[in-house]
Amino acid sequence: MIKVEPGKTRLGWIGTGVMGRSMASHLLRAGYAVSVYNRSSAKTKDLVDLGATLCKSPRDVAAQSDVVFTMVGFPADVEEVILGEAGVLNGLGPGSVLVDMTTSRPSLAQQIYTSAASKGVAALDAPVSGGDIGAREARLSIMVGGDRFVFDALEPLWTLMGKTFVYQGPAGCGQHTKMVNQILIASSMVGLCESLLYATRSGLNPETVLSSVSTGAAGSWSLSNLAPRIFKEDYSPGFFVNHFVKDLGIVLEEASKMKIDLPGVVLAKRLYDELKEIGHGDKGTQALWLVVNRKAE
Amino acid sequence: MIKVEPGKTRLGWIGTGVMGRSMASHLLRAGYAVSVYNRSSAKTKDLVDLGATLCKSPRDVAAQSDVVFTMVGFPADVEEVILGEAGVLNGLGPGSVLVDMTTSRPSLAQQIYTSAASKGVAALDAPVSGGDIGAREARLSIMVGGDRFVFDALEPLWTLMGKTFVYQGPAGCGQHTKMVNQILIASSMVGLCESLLYATRSGLNPETVLSSVSTGAAGSWSLSNLAPRIFKEDYSPGFFVNHFVKDLGIVLEEASKMKIDLPGVVLAKRLYDELKEIGHGDKGTQALWLVVNRKAE
Partner-chain residue, chosen from A179, A220, A261, that has the shortest CB–CB distance to B219: A220
Rounded to whole angstroms, the Cα distance separating A39 from A57 reads 8
How close, in Å, is residue B263 to chain A by CA atoms?
A: 8
User: A177 and B204 in contact by Cβ < 8 A?
Assistant: yes
Q: What is the mean pLDDT of residues B40-55?
A: 97
Give one word for A257, left, alpha or beta, with left for phi > 0 and alpha for psi -120 to 50: alpha
Helices (H), chain B: 18-29, 45-49, 58-63, 75-78, 106-117, 131-136, 148-153, 155-161, 173-201, 206-213, 221-231, 241-258, 263-275, 288-295
Closest chain B residue to A225 measured between Cα atoms? B217
How close, in Å, is residue B222 to chain A by CA atoms?
A: 6
Q: Which residues of B touch A176 (CB under 8 A)?
A: 198-199, 202-204
Residue B262: its pLDDT value, please?
Answer: 97
Residue to mutate among A105, A175, A183, A250, with most B CBs inside 10 A, is A183
Residue to mutate among A143, A213, A221, A258, with most B CBs inside 10 A, is A213
Residue B2 — very low, low, confident or very high, per pLDDT cuts 50/70/90? confident
Q: Which residues of A touch B223 (CB under 8 A)?
A: 184
Strand locations in chain B, DSSP E?
A: 10-14, 33-37, 53-54, 67-70, 97-100, 122-125, 128-129, 140-145, 162-169
pLDDT reading at A95 higher than 90 = yes
User: A203 and B169 in contact by Cβ < 8 A?
Assistant: yes
Q: What is the mean pLDDT of residues A51-67?
A: 98
Catalytic residues of A: 178
Q: Which residues of A touch B286 (CB under 8 A)?
A: none
Share of chain A above pLDDT 70, in %: 100
Across chain A, mean pLDDT equals 97
pLDDT reading at A61 higher than 90 = yes
Catalytic residues of B: 178
Share of chain A above pLDDT 90, in %: 95
Residue B79 — very low, low, confident or very high, per pLDDT cuts 50/70/90? very high
Share of chain B above pLDDT 90, in %: 95
Partner-chain residue, chosen from B187, B221, B259, that has the shortest CB–CB distance to A219: B221
Partner-chain residue, chosen from B202, B211, B225, that has the shortest CB–CB distance to A176: B202
Q: What is the mean pLDDT of residues A247-252?
A: 98
HSE, side-chain direction, 13 A CA sphere, residue B146: 31
Partner-chain residue, chosen from B181, B202, B217, that has the shortest CB–CB distance to A221: B217
The residues facing A167 across adjacent strands are A144
How close, in Å, is residue A72 to chain B by CA atoms?
A: 20
Q: What is the mean pLDDT of residues A99-114?
A: 98
Q: Which residues of B touch A198 (CB under 8 A)?
A: 176, 179-180, 183, 251, 254-255, 258, 260, 262
Q: How far is CA B297 from CA A27, A261, B177, in A?
A: 46, 10, 37
Residue B132: its pLDDT value, please?
Answer: 85
Residue A1 — very low, low, confident or very high, per pLDDT cuts 50/70/90? confident
Give one word for A138, left, alpha or beta, with left for phi > 0 and alpha for psi -120 to 50: left
User: B177 and A296 in contact by Cβ < 8 A?
Assistant: no
Residue B297 — very low, low, confident or very high, per pLDDT cuts 50/70/90? confident
CATH number of A10-171: 3.40.50.720
Q: Which residues of A touch B258 (CB under 8 A)?
A: 198, 201-202
pLDDT reading at A297 higher than 80 = no
Residue A238: its pLDDT value, please?
Answer: 85
Residue A296: its pLDDT value, please?
Answer: 76
User: A204 and B129 in contact by Cβ < 8 A?
Assistant: no
Amino acid at A48: V
User: B225 and A217 in contact by Cβ < 8 A?
Assistant: yes
DSSP A3-35: ---TTTSEEEEE--SHHHHHHHHHHHHTT-EEE
Partner-chain residue, chosen from B167, B184, B191, that has the shortest CB–CB distance to A195: B184
Residue A295: its pLDDT value, please?
Answer: 76
pLDDT tens digits for range B100-159: 999 999 999 999 999 999 999 999 999 999 988 899 999 999 999 999 999 999 999 999
Residue B238: its pLDDT value, please?
Answer: 85
User: B180 and A197 in contact by Cβ < 8 A?
Assistant: no
Residue B186: its pLDDT value, please?
Answer: 98
Residue ranges of chain B assigned to CATH 1.10.1040.10: 177-295
Give one word for A143, left, alpha or beta, with left for phi > 0 and alpha for psi -120 to 50: beta
Q: What is the mean pLDDT of residues B161-190?
A: 98
pLDDT tens digits for range A207-240: 999 999 998 999 999 999 999 999 999 999 988 9
Q: Which residues of B touch A191 (CB under 8 A)?
A: 183-188, 191, 264
pLDDT tens digits for range B229-284: 999 999 999 889 999 999 999 999 999 999 999 999 999 999 999 999 999 999 99
How close, in Å, is residue B11 to chain A by CA atoms?
A: 25
Q: What is the mean pLDDT of residues A161-174?
A: 98
Residue A182 — very low, low, confident or very high, per pLDDT cuts 50/70/90? very high
pLDDT tens digits for range A28-43: 999 999 999 999 999 9
Closest CA to A286 of A245, A244, A232, A226: A226
DSSP state of B73: S
Fold of the CATH domain A177-295: N-(1-d-carboxylethyl)-l-norvaline Dehydrogenase; domain 2 (1.10.1040)
pLDDT reading at B61 higher than 90 = yes
Residue B296: its pLDDT value, please?
Answer: 75
User: B164 and A194 in contact by Cβ < 8 A?
Assistant: no
Residue ranges of chain B assigned to CATH 3.40.50.720: 10-171
